[in-house]
Chain A
């Protein structure tokens, strides 16, 4: 074994041991990097993606509903757990799962995202337009009669999901009845949750 080999081995040992020690406690994130993440839109997950992962039975997913207990009982995303914002400031959450937050319109979820990220949790995402997005994009998707090809493609993905969750997809709907907003005709935004499509 030459000196070069020994050096490499030492470097590996050092970096490896340091890695073990480094993760004993999550490091708190800095506001600057959080701002960068928010701007790069890696902080949210689309309702469609969430639906697909839930349907696949993804075990690394923890979905948290930030509304009141009563609102939760009335309706919630299948598999979600109810959590109060205050709890998120203190409770321990699994570090190895993807945590998905949602609220009614996305506001509280976005705030909770900042809270959790500041605490050092790395894999945190939220539904940008909350339950509204879930219902209009997955649970009760609607296809306008004059839909564009992109809207059709998205509907094609959403319809089976909708049925899976017990909702009602509707196609051939007058344009006026199709909800508009950030997500219209726009499949996705940038979703981070890594999806290797095979080699």
Chain B
């Protein structure tokens, strides 16, 4: 694509739009959005393939996400939702002229550092999201709008930790 990318839309309008999507989710399916749960499902499926489904089912951590586990209907839903989010993200980027293979990084570091940081950050988020039973979509947004105490605690500790440690990560982003 050679045309210059379109600007982003106003944050508040985007937010209200997302809020309406979330509301639609509450109304239509009785629960909110989420993302990290889909990751857990993918790992569970992979574990079942690699280790065999009986060994996978023996693990208390993995079992709920397997096809007959407790999370089963919910896990399918989240995976489909996240797949939709990827499609939506691509469509938006494509039509805005922003779709391209690239590594986005802070001005002071190289690609390798960025990729290492991305993976490392991802690992921490994977751990954190499992412990907290959710992420920014599932806890902060979905639970926050429903006034769940744990979700608000998640919001608080997530951003507190980020802001407190931000000076140490300056090199990555400034």
Q: Which of B103-144 contact A (CB under 8 A)?
A: 129, 133-135, 137-139, 142-143
Interface residues, chain A, with chain B CB atoms under 8 Å away: 4-5, 8, 196-199
A5 adjacent to B134 (CB under 8 Å): no
Q: Which of A4, A5, A8, A199 contacts B37 (CB 8 A)?
A: A199
Q: What would be 24 A-B contacts, judged by CB atoms less than 8 Å apart?
A: A4-B13, A8-B12, A196-B31, A196-B143, A196-B148, A197-B64, A197-B70, A197-B71, A197-B74, A198-B37, A198-B71, A198-B133, A198-B134, A199-B34, A199-B35, A199-B36, A199-B37, A199-B129, A199-B133, A199-B134, A199-B135, A199-B137, A199-B138, A199-B139
- Nearest 7 pairs between A and B by C-beta? A199-B138, A199-B134, A198-B133, A199-B34, A199-B37, A199-B36, A199-B133
Interface of A is mostly: loop
> Closest approach, in angstroms, between the C-beta of B27 and any C-beta of chain A?
15
Q: Is B58 an interface residue, CB under 8 A from the partner?
A: no
Residues of B near A4 (CB, < 8 A) are 13
Q: How far is the CA of A5 from the CA of B14 in the complex (A)?
A: 12
Residues of B near A5 (CB, < 8 A) are 10, 12
Residues of A near B50 (CB, < 8 A) are none
Residues of B near A8 (CB, < 8 A) are 12, 16
Residues of A near B16 (CB, < 8 A) are 8
B133 adjacent to A196 (CB under 8 Å): yes
Instruction: Give the number of A-B contacts (CB < 8 Å).
Output: 30
Q: Which of A8, A196, A198, A199 has the most CB of B within 10 A?
A: A199
> Closest approach, in angstroms, between the C-beta of A13 and any C-beta of chain B?
14
> Closest approach, in angstroms, between the C-beta of B167 and any C-beta of chain A?
30
Given contacts A196-B31, A199-B135, 6 further A-B contacts (CB under 8 A): A5-B10, A197-B64, A197-B70, A197-B71, A199-B78, A199-B133
Q: How far is the CA of A198 from the CA of B41 in the complex (A)?
A: 12
Closest to A12 in B: B16
Q: How far is the CA of A59 from the CA of B78 in the complex (A)?
A: 30
> Closest approach, in angstroms, between the C-beta of A2 and any C-beta of chain B?
8
Residues of A near B70 (CB, < 8 A) are 197
Residues of A near B12 (CB, < 8 A) are 5, 8
Residues of B near A199 (CB, < 8 A) are 34-37, 78, 129, 133-135, 137-139, 142
Residues of B near A198 (CB, < 8 A) are 37, 71, 133-134
Q: How far is the CA of A199 from the CA of B36 in the complex (A)?
A: 6
Residues of A near B34 (CB, < 8 A) are 199
